[in-house]
């Protein structure tokens, strides 16, 4: 069982971890305690290629000062050599006698540090404040588990399921409150994705803005998928973040590349064709549907072919919430996997 000093050190390590950037690497914090439970050093991971949290903390101690100490870390010390060496080995060589960590590393290439430490005679305890660490690393952990970013597909529709009138006009199906909610969610996402068809038809800026029309401090990475050329004067090219353009229909390839770039969450806003493709390929974790109390009729459906030839093949969703936004409704739902059905 961890001592009160060790629990306090883990809370401090979690605070330190938040200072690090999100992305390809996890946010990790570390605290070195003396045998009496006093904090001797603190560290956190500052990004790819920089010292890991444990090494950052150890670097602040004089030679031999870490002998007999306790290292408190938010994630299992790594056991592989990448841009930096194994943290488990660094702790062993420093003479640390006890290591406490919150979460086991889900990355098989990096895992195994705890076992290496135990083999080296170090006392190891895991699972300390694991729920707090999980909350901190939720996005990164999901990427490790799925092998791709979290994908949210959003669309706005009329009450009868249309995304636009028959002449193609769609501004505005929903009201101001619903549109403001979209911009908040854009800002929270790492990337916003549309197809070239949407770029050519609507020329969207894909920025996250306030109700006053000003740019929010955090802007998503704009992403365009499709074979058509993006015009040189397209609004998306004036986005504060340079857009990524993928001339392909291979969504798996796109998501893999985005994962490798450190993108953890993707917000798909690209119209019926792209939304349907993500759903058809089983690449959606969350669906956001903004429904306006308006009837349009016609053929401009909010979704296209989902590969559902019969009712038995219907894509089932589980509703997580229904939120009124002015006269509109926001339905948040999650696809039901076969194991959940």
Question: Cα(320)–Cα(286) distance, rounded to whole angstroms?
Answer: 10
Residue 84, classified by CB atoms within 10 Å of its CB into exposed (0-12), middle (13-18) or buried (19+), is middle
Please name which of 151, 181, 153, 152 lies closest in space to residue 292, comparing C-alpha atoms.
181
285: how many CB neighbours lie within 10 A of its CB?
16
Question: Cα(287)–Cα(187) distance, rounded to whole angstroms?
Answer: 17
For the question of residue 54 being annotated catalytic, the response is: yes
Question: Cα(226)–Cα(71) distance, rounded to whole angstroms?
Answer: 49
- What are residue 49's DSSP bridge partners? none
Alpha carbons within 13 angstroms on the beta-carbon side of residue 174 total 22
Q: Which of 54, 76, 269, 286 is catalytic?
A: 54
Output the DSSP codes for 85-147: --HHHHHHHHT--EEEEEE----TTT--HHHHHHHTT-EEE--TTHHHHHHHTHHHHHHHHHS
Length of the chain: 341
Which of the residues are catalytic?
A: 54
């Amino acid at each position: 069982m961890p001592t009160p000093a060790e629990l306090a050190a883990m809370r401090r390590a979690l605070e330190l971890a938040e200072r690090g950037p999100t992305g390809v690497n996890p946010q990790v914090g570390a605290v070195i305690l003396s045998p009496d439970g006093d904090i001797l050093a603190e560290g956190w991971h500052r990004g790819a290629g920089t010292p890991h949290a444990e090494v950052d903390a150890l670097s602040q101690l004089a030679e031999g000062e870490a002998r007999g100490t306790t290292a408190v870390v938010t994630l299992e010390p790594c056991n592989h050599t990448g841009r930096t060496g194994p943290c488990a080995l660094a702790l062993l060589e420093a003479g640390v006698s006890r290591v406490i960590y919150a979460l086991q590393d889900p990355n098989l290439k990096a895992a195994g540090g705890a076992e290496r430490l135990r083999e080296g005679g170090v006392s190891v305890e895991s699972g300390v404040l694991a729920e707090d660490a999980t909350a901190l690393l939720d996005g990164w952990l999901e990427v490790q588990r799925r092998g791709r970013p979290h994908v949210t597909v959003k669309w706005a529709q009329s009450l009868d399921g249309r995304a636009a009138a028959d002449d193609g006009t769609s501004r505005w199906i929903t009201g101001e409150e619903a549109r403001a909610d979209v911009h908040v969610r854009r800002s929270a996402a790492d990337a916003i994705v549309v197809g070239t068809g949407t770029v050519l038809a609507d020329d969207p800026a894909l920025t996250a803005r306030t109700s006053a029309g000003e740019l929010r401090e955090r802007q998503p990475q704009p992403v365009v998928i499709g074979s058509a050329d993006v015009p040189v004067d397209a609004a998306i090219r004036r986005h504060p973040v340079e857009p990524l353009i993928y001339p392909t229909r291979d969504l798996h390839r796109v998501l893999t590349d985005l994962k490798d770039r450190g993108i953890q969450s993707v917000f798909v806003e690209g119209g019926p064709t792209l939304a349907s493709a993500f759903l058809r390929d089983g690449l959606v974790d969350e669906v956001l549907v903004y429904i306006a109390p308006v009837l349009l009729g016609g053929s401009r459906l909010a979704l296209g072919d989902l590969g559902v030839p019969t009712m038995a093949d219907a894509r089932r969703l589980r509703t997580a919430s229904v939120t009124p936004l002015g006269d509109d409704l926001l339905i948040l739902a999650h696809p039901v996997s076969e194991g959940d059905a």
